[in-house]
Amino acid sequence: MTMERKPVAYGDLRGWISALKSAGELQEIDAEVDPNIELGTIMRLAQGPGTGPALLFNNIKGYNIPTSRCRRIFGSALNNYRRIAMMLGLPRDAHARELVKIGRNILSETMPPKIVKTGPVKENIVTGTGNDIDIDQFPSPYWNRLDGGRYIITYAGVVTKDPETNVMNVGVYRGMVGGRDKIPILMWRAQHIGHHVTAWQAAGKNEMPIAVAIGWEPTLGFCAGSPVPKGVCEYDVMGAIRGEPVELVKCETNDLYVPATAEIVIEGVLNLDPETYEMEGPYAEFTGYVAGDKSPKPTIRVTCITHRNDPILRGTIEGCMPGSFSENAMISSIFRSSMAWNVLDRAGVPGITDVWGPPVQAGMNLNIQMKQSYRGQAKQAANALWGSSAAHVRYKHVTVVDDDIDIHDYAAVDWAIAYRVNAGENDIVIMPATFGLGLDPSTRKRDRNPALFGTGKWNRVLIDATINLDFDPDPDFGGARYPPTVWPAEKDVESAKARWSELGFNKPKRG
Ligand SMILES: Cc1cc2nc3c(=O)[nH]c(=O)nc-3n(C[C@H](O)[C@H](O)[C@H](O)COP(=O)(O)O)c2cc1C
């Protein structure tokens, strides 16, 4: 049984912020904060292991003047399961396991958007003619000291479209401030934006229309940063999650559509000619490392900026480490788990009872819990996963356990690995030289050059920590293949528990 959702439409970023405030989930910071390294440092320290508040910076150094185009920055909203539950219309105390189950269907439901004539995002229109376009008018943070520059696109919806089907795609692809009207972005060919690039190039074009929607309801960043199936537009999925169609307006300088109540929209063209690429990176990435990658990248030439009055710049700090979990990591822990479960189901792997990629590594290491019914089932699961495109940037290490092991409990998984894994019995399997994440520092730099190979290079590992069904049934174990554990029989537990108070266990401790 999965929990019932009651979809919520928050209206826009401001509606979401006020809902967070009412729920006690928001911290407003009125003290002046420097967007140059200080803001990113504060965000990283404040986020905690899924425990920190959402943050609204009201006083950005150098921008808190009446003539400023943008004075506020909002982030850290989805780095906590309570707030992810709010986005999905679930009780705030829903367990991560429930979120994973809900996540299994969330990206496949659709509700088409509604086109409207205009909206608040058109309150200010800055074009190249008359008003000079200058993205420096926005307080794009220098998030981390080792970043290659200031990043304006960190958790925004980058909109492109397929030139043949006209179906739009909305994805999160980081973008650095490269000049007054230049934003180089990181996009891999395997991503849907990459598919669009290929299609535009095949059509003989050197440029592709692009729009960047910054700041809306939480579903914008969530859907844009999630692997919505190819050919399905993220706006349709956002509509289904919030239970109301997303209202879209047409861009001023191209025929892409963006949320009418977005805070800021950057319109432009993505130059596809390598001669026009601008230097981008490095950037503190989701792996928790500043993993090289300073190179010339496809660059947006901005043709127009539209924004609300007094807009709020939505950003996020990337990079998850023990004790400091990013938004991407918390989201990934849920939805990369849901996706993996769906892949296993579609491949016909039976008996899957739970799937979990803990937030600190966001699904690089995936735990699968299964009820085994035949030999080799764990290997079937790993093969199914690794053969799916969902595995491109996740599921490097897969651990499979039996259904008596709680995969949300590190100790339980550790115990299973200790006593159910035998490398000499093929419980450790290496699948060498597969495709993989181009940002993983454990791969040599040459092998993760997207320009050279289009992808990274991963040697994947299965840890089969299930009871070995290749063992013979053993009469000493009552015909089972494995010895019984030391845990008492249910009836003995019940009898002992019935005497628990009498034995003094429930009494208050002496001070
Ligand atoms: C905060 C955040 C930053 C991301 N940065 C990038 C990026 O710079 N480049 C990239 O290709 N994917 C990036 N991703 C991952 C993609 O957004 C994700 O794979 C998404 O599914 C891409 O959209 P698509 O499925 O429509 O291609 C990021 C995701 C998040 C949540």
Could you give the CA distance from residue 55 to residue 45 in angstroms, rounded to a whole number?
Answer: 12
Q: What DSSP state is assigned to residue 150?
A: -
Contacts of 479 (CB under 8 A, 6+ apart): 473
pLDDT tens track of the chain, all 511 residues?
Answer: 678 899 999 999 999 999 999 999 999 999 999 999 999 999 999 999 999 999 999 999 999 998 899 999 999 999 999 999 999 999 999 999 999 999 999 988 999 999 999 999 999 999 977 668 999 999 999 999 999 999 999 999 999 999 999 999 999 999 999 999 999 999 877 789 999 999 999 999 999 999 999 999 999 999 999 888 888 999 999 999 999 999 999 999 999 999 999 999 999 999 999 999 999 999 998 999 997 678 999 999 999 999 999 999 999 999 999 999 999 999 999 999 999 999 999 999 999 999 999 999 989 999 999 999 999 999 999 999 999 988 989 999 999 999 999 999 999 999 999 999 999 999 999 999 999 998 899 999 899 887 788 789 999 999 999 999 999 999 999 999 999 999 999 999 999 999 999 999 987 665 4
Confidence at residue 508, expressed as pLDDT on a 0 to 100 scale: 63
6 burial (CB, 10 Å; 0-12 / 13-18 / 19+) is exposed
Confidence at residue 79, expressed as pLDDT on a 0 to 100 scale: 96
Distance (Å) from CA 187 to ligand 1 centroid: 8
Choice from 144, 174, 220 to test ligand 1 binding pocket (greatest atom count within 8 A of CB)? 174
> Mind spelling out the 3-state secondary structure of 20-78?
HHHCCCEEEECCCECCECHHHHHHHHHHCCCCCCEEEECCECCCCCCCCCCCEEEECCC
Ligand 1 contacts CB of residue 285 (under 6 A) = no
Choice from 167, 191, 235, 394 to test ligand 1 binding pocket (greatest atom count within 8 A of CB)? 191
pTM: 0.93
Whether 441 and 392 have beta carbons less than 8 Å apart is answered as no
- Joined together, the tokens standing for residue 51 give 């425990």
Q: Which atom of ligand 1 is nearest to the CA of 228?
A: 25
The neighbour count for residue 470, using CB atoms within 10 Å, is 11
Q: What residue type is assigned to position 439 of the chain?
A: L
Nearest residue CA, atom 28 of ligand 1?
172
Ligand 1 contacts CB of residue 171 (under 6 A) = yes
Contacts of 33 (CB under 8 A, 6+ apart): 39, 42, 57, 59, 60, 61
Confidence at residue 131, expressed as pLDDT on a 0 to 100 scale: 66
Confidence at residue 481, expressed as pLDDT on a 0 to 100 scale: 96
Confidence at residue 169, expressed as pLDDT on a 0 to 100 scale: 97
Could you give the CA distance from residue 96 to residue 81 in angstroms, rounded to a whole number?
Answer: 7
Q: End-to-end distance of the chain based on CA atoms, in angstroms? A: 44
Give the residue carrying structure tokens 């909203």. Answer: 77
Whether 115 and 248 have beta carbons less than 8 Å apart is answered as yes
Nearest residue CA, atom 18 of ligand 1?
225
Identify the H or E element spanning 17: helix 13-22
Whether 357 and 338 have beta carbons less than 8 Å apart is answered as no
Ligand 1 contacts CB of residue 83 (under 6 A) = no
**DSSP notation for 428-497:** EEEEEEEEE-TT-TTS-GGGG-HHHHSSEEEEEEEEEES--TTSPP-GGGTT-SSPPPSSPPHHHHHHHH
**DSSP notation for 94-135:** --HHHHHHHHHHHTT-----EE-S--GGGSEEEESSSSPP-G
Q: What is the pLDDT of residues 292-335, one digit of tens each?
A: 678 999 999 999 999 999 999 999 999 999 999 999 999 999 99
Ligand 1 contacts CB of residue 191 (under 6 A) = yes
Identify the H or E element spanning 13: helix 13-22
Nearest residue CA, atom 31 of ligand 1?
225
Confidence at residue 214, expressed as pLDDT on a 0 to 100 scale: 98
Q: What is the pLDDT of residues 151-195, one digit of tens each?
A: 999 999 999 999 999 999 999 999 999 999 999 999 877 789 999
> 409's torsion region: left (phi>0), alpha (psi -120 to 50) or beta?
beta
Nearest residue CA, atom 30 of ligand 1?
225
